[in-house]
Amino acid sequence: MFSQGVGIVFTQKIGAYKDKEAKKICGMGLSLSILLGIFLVILMLTTKNIFLGFFNLSPEIYKLASDYYTWLALVAIIYPVYYLFYYLVLDDGDNALVTASDIVCMISNYLISVFLVERMGISGLALGTSFGSIIAFVVLLNHFFPNK
């Protein structure tokens, strides 16, 4: 939720030609996103058994869910940062880049997941999802480093 708010305030500052304030807002949002990501990793890893135990899974399904969950938890740090930049770019009006990022995320998620699931099982699916988000994040960064 705060990712959207940071994006809105950032865009307001840019629109008011207050670049220094906009950079401060962006830096604060990035710092908070990283801290939130670290918190999510710790929370997800420390509550994994409680969360999965809630569903009364068979031992076989529990193992699969645990493998998938563990990989997602380990890369959860990227998601708050990804969504911060997603909304910064969206609020700045670069809808085409956001759409391209979404498409790249879906395609890379699918291709990497298919490739890795054959080699790693369910963990490959989780990594495919994570790598898809990382690649989409790199696409979003093009907004901040335009080609000259």
- Residues 87-112 have pLDDT tens digits of 888 888 899 999 999 999 999 999 99
Instruction: Give dist(CA 24, CA 21) in Å, integer.
Output: 5
Average pLDDT value for residue range 26-50: 91
pTM of the shown model: 0.80
What integer best gives the mean pLDDT of the chain? Answer: 89
Average pLDDT value for residue range 121-134: 91
> How many secondary structure helices (H) and strands (E) does the chain include?
7, 0
Res 148: pLDDT: 59
88-95: long-range pairs with CB below 8 Å, 24+ = 88/6, 88/7, 88/10, 88/11, 88/26, 88/29, 88/143, 89/140, 89/143, 90/7, 91/4, 91/7, 91/8, 91/10, 91/11, 92/7, 92/10, 92/11, 92/14, 92/143, 94/143
Average pLDDT value for residue range 38-51: 94
Res 1: pLDDT: 58
What pLDDT, in 10s, does the model give residues 56-73? 999 999 999 999 999 888
Ramachandran category for residue 58: left, alpha or beta (phi over 0 → left; psi -120 to 50 → alpha) = beta
